[in-house]
Amino acid sequence: MIQKIKHSILLVLAALCWGTTNAQLYNQELDEFSPEATKRDKLGVRLGFGLNTLRSGDLQNTKVTRGYQGAFYYRVNLFKGFHLNSEFGASIRGARHDNGDLSYSQISLFYFDLNILGMIQLDPGFKHSIIAGVQGSRLMRSSLFIGPEPFPAFLQLPFKKYDLDAVVGYHFNTRYAGFQLALKYGLLNIAGDFASYNKQSLNNNAVQFIDLKPGLRDVKNIKNLSVELSVYF
C-alpha cells in the first residue's frame, strides 16, 4: 500500500508542476456582468480513483484494492480564506484478501456518498488549500468473491447500511482543473450480523457461506480506509 500511495503522491506533484505557470484558475471564471470580479461559487464534477482497504482484526490476509469514485459538487466562498465544498456521488471501496483459490479473495462495497468539506486557503490566489470534513455514505451493494472467479459468489452481505468517514487532505487548483489528495478514515463499525448470515453461493458449486475457510461468521468489527486522488472540473 505504501508503494501505491507514493505513486499517487508523485502524480499529484507532477500535476502541481504542470499547473504553476497558469494564471487564472479553473474555478475563477469571470462574471459576465462584472468582468473584473470572480464568481463566488462553482458547480462541477469530480472524478477519481482510490486505494482502499478494510481495517479489521477479524478478516484474514487483507490487502489493498483499487476503487473508483465520482461526484457532483457545489463550492461556495463563505468568507475570505474559506470555501465550503458539498458533494454528492458514488464510490467503490472494499479490500482484497490473499486466502487462496477456495476462499474469499475480495470484498467490494458500492456506496452513495455525501461529502461536506471545508477548504482553508494557504495562499491569496487560492491555488493551495487544506481540506477537512466528513463523508456520510449509504451502502447500496456488497459483493464477495471466491478465489480467481470474476463474478461475485455472494451478494448483500451483512454490512451496516450507513458509514461515516473523517476526511483530511490537500487541494491544488490549476487553470484547467483542481487536484485533491485525501485520506478518508472510517469512524463507524460497518460489520453487521455475520454470525447469522448463511446464504448459498450464486455459483453452480453451491458453496454455503458457513463453509468458507477462513470463515467470516466471527467477524464483528470492520472499518473503511481509503486514500483518494481526484480531479475537479
CATH number at residue 36: 2.40.160.20
Distance CA 93, CA 165 (A): 13
Structural domain range at position 163: 2-232
Cell numbers placing 69: 469514485
**H helix intervals, the chain:** 2-19
pLDDT tens for the chain, 233 residues: list them: 555 544 554 554 454 444 443 444 666 544 444 444 455 688 999 999 999 999 999 999 999 999 999 999 999 988 888 999 999 999 999 999 999 888 899 999 999 999 999 999 998 878 999 999 999 999 999 999 998 888 999 999 999 999 999 999 999 998 889 999 999 999 999 999 999 998 888 875 667 888 888 989 999 999 999 999 999 99
- Over residues 80-133, the pLDDT tens digits come to 889 999 999 999 999 999 998 888 999 999 999 999 999 999 988 789 999 999
**3-state class (DSSP) for residue 59:** coil
Number of structural domains, the chain?
1
Cell numbers placing 182: 485525501
**3-state class (DSSP) for residue 61:** coil
Distance CA 110, CA 133 (A): 21
Distance CA 221, CA 200 (A): 23
Q: Please give the model's pTM, rounded to 2 decimal places.
A: 0.83
Q: What is the residue whose three cell numbers read 490476509?
A: 61
Q: What is the residue whose three cell numbers read 454470525?
A: 195
Q: Are 10 and 17 in contact (CB under 8 A)?
A: no
**Length of the chain in residues, anyone?**
233
